[in-house]
Each structure stands twice: as C-alpha cells, then as structure tokens.
Amino acid sequence: MNARSAQSPLPVGRPPGLLLAVLALALVAFIDAGLWRLELEWHGWDGLAWIDWFHAAVPAGIALFLGWVLLVAPLALRGRLRLAVMLAVAAAVLGTLAAWSLRLGFATGSRALPLATMSPVLHTVLRITWLPVLLSAPIATCVIARSAGLRVTLLHAGISIALFCAALPISRALLVVTTHRGGSDAVHALKSGFVIPWLVIALGIPFLRTRSTR
C-alpha cells in the first residue's frame, strides 16, 4: 500500500434502496411507539404522573433511529459516526428541554403551587412551551444532515417539517376515530404514543435518497 492510498478517505457506504430504507424507517417508528406505550402501561395510565418519569423508551428509541441513520446515510464511516454524534447531542438537548417544559407546565402536587400564583396567560404559555421545542427538531435535523455533508433538498426539508407539524393533528384525529381513553388533546396524543410514528418518519425523511457532498 503506497502513501497516497493510505491517506485516502474511507469509502462512502452504499445505502439500501429507497423502499428498504422506508420500510426500515417505518419499522423503527412503530417499535419506538410500542416501547413508549408498553412502558407507560407498565407504570400506569392514570393521571399526569408519567410526565415526571424517566422514560427508558426515549433513549432506546433514539438509539434505534440513529442505527437507521447509520445504515442509510451515504457517507464514509467517519462521517456517519460524526452525524450520529451530532444527532444524539441534539436529541439530548431538545429532549431535556421538552421534558422540562412538560414538567413545568403540567406540574402536580407541591410542585404545582408556584403555578397557582402565575397569571393565566403565563401559565398557558408554560403549558405549550414543549410544542415549539419539539417543532424545532425537524429543522435541527435538516441543518445537522447538511452540516455532515448530505444534500438535503428543499423538498425533503419541506416534507419533513410539514409532516412533523401535522403529526399532532393527525394523532388527535386518530384518537377521536378510535375513541381512545383519556380524550383527544395534545397531551394524550403524546401520552398514547399515537404521535410517535409520525414524528420519527418525519425526522427520517431528510436522509432518504440524499447524496453526499463530500
């Protein structure tokens, strides 16, 4: 092996075909939703206590999604690992912020006392803070994918953001159709796990049929 070949970058991985990538993404999405729901049912459905738990299904679901990204991203091994690390950091930050805002807006027991002294407007703002935090996820995903060297088209980015935003209304409609227990509000769309497959699929769209710029 000569010096030139020794210094050559790692080869770009060959991602699976589009159909296989989509099927694998759908499988990951429904497994993530299933893990969330199983854990919630195991702890107990009633009330808002689930907001205070550590949900092992969240890091497990993120790990499954990152594994899918590593499989489909048309990057060299080093590039795929760097992409996975950036996505993991973003997921940790946004997940922590979303969990914090949920706990603050829907606090129960003694932790809810400070909320009683707030104005109704401020209390309402705190109760919906988790929504913009979550809605920033597809934008962050597209930015990270591009910074890692993937050509994310405006079409892919637009579809990803649109589906992510539509996930909540779609899930609420499904709760109504299935007459799901607890109601059909935004919190129950998350609590039931109905929203999770749509969110995961939306986040995966930027990685479908993308090309490397490096």
Per-residue model confidence as pLDDT tens digits over 67-122: 999 999 988 989 999 999 999 999 999 988 888 877 776 665 555 555 656 667 77
Q: Is residue 151 part of a domain?
A: yes
Per-residue model confidence as pLDDT tens digits over 166-201: 999 999 999 999 877 777 777 888 888 999 999 999
- Helical (H) or strand (E) element with 150: strand 150-151
Which residue do the tokens 């205070």 mark?
Answer: 52
| Domains contained in the chain, number | 1
Per-residue model confidence as pLDDT tens digits over 33-74: 999 999 988 888 777 778 778 889 999 999 999 999 999 998
Q: Is residue 114 part of a domain?
A: yes
What CA dihedral angle connects 115, 117, 121 and 125, to 10 degrees?
-20
Q: Is residue 2 part of a domain?
A: no
Quote the domain boundaries for residue 88.
15-212
Q: Is residue 4 part of a domain?
A: no
Q: Which residues pair with 211 in a beta bridge?
A: 151
> 125-146 burial string, b = 16+ CB within 10 Å, else e?
ebbebbeebbebbbebbbebbe
Q: Is residue 35 part of a domain?
A: yes
Q: Is residue 1 part of a domain?
A: no
Reply yes or no on whether the pLDDT at 157 is more than 90.
Answer: yes
Q: Is residue 3 part of a domain?
A: no
Q: Is residue 177 part of a domain?
A: yes
